[in-house]
Amino acid sequence: MVPDGRYAPSPTGTLHLGNLRTALLAWLFARAGGSRFVVRVEDIDTGRSRERFVAEQLADLAALGLDWDAPVVRQSDRGALYADALAALDAERLVYPCWCTRAEIRQASSAPHGPLPGGAYPGTCAELPAARRAERARSGRPAALRVRAAAAQVTVQDKLLGPVRSTVDDFVLRRADGDWAYNLAVVVDDQAQGVGEVVRGADLLETTPRQAWLHGALGYGAPPAYAHVPLLLGADGGRLAKRHGAVTLAGRASHGQSPADVRAELAASVGLCAPDEHLEPAELVARFDPEGLAAASCG
Ligand code: GLU
């Protein structure tokens, strides 16, 4: 048995073939190990989430032949859990308000000093003297809440990519607009849902040390296992987008292709079958080998 797996789409658009391949792989990792698989709707970004994409994304996953074992969880319903986690960190004096704008952070973090990687929060508001903090608070400008990670050095062992080492910056837990931040919600939910193996796109690798660190800071014990799968790219090597033609199930349907055709194409792209070989989901499960995926060239 491998630990429970999940797919956690954000309903900010229609799932494209790259998202669908990641979902298929996450499902295959779990099912090939005989594990549970859950789906979570990550709709905490209230500015970008759209209700119509929630049902559409779930329908596309089902059309591809994926199934899940528990009712779908929505992050917009789970604010109380995130508030509890924030309170627990605050009780450890690990939370502080931050008034920096994006431009200020960009400017400060590009200065050639300090141990943090480019783009990381440089800690400007971490040690504000009390008087200055009070002055900022009085200005009425809303503050984001950041966690004091003290530039922790974290190494995550990725199942496909090997060790990923990074210095964790003081990342955001709650945004200045009041929305919960992705890193907090994802860690709380993976723990609450019993997810032990996180399979997702390689574009999220960069933030993984933060999540592994937060897992520990919240007292959850060892973080989940991680496997970051290659992104499906367009023929020109760029990220999949509308300019690449029909890149959604609906788009493919209008060209006469069924979800089973798309599943075959996605499975073929990771070396599980020939493009014209139409396997049922269960047959793909029987063939799936995570070790093979690590070696396969996923185009
Ligand atoms: N909701 C995120 C996305 O759609 C994925 C989060 C995750 O898998 O950890 O990009």
State if residue 9 touches ligand 1 by the CB under 6 angstroms criterion.
yes
Determine contact, residues 87/135, Cβ cutoff 8 Å.
no
Ligand 1 neighbourhood includes 8 CB (under 6 angstroms): yes
Write the burial class of residue 298 (CB in 10 Å: 0-12 exposed, 13-18 middle, 19+ buried). middle
All structural domains of the chain, each given as residue ranges with its CATH number in brackets, are: 5-79+182-298 (3.40.50.620), 92-174 (3.90.800.10)
Q: Which of 27, 74, 200, 206 to mutate to test the pocket of ligand 1 (most atoms within 8 A of CB)?
A: 200
| This prediction's pTM | 0.94
Task: Give 144's strand partners.
Answer: 98
Beta carbon of 228 within 6 Å of any ligand 1 atom: no
**pLDDT at residue 296, rounded to an integer:** 59
Mean pLDDT by 10 residues, the chain (299 residues): 90 96 98 96 96 98 98 98 98 96 79 62 92 92 96 96 95 97 98 97 95 98 96 84 87 96 95 91 95 64
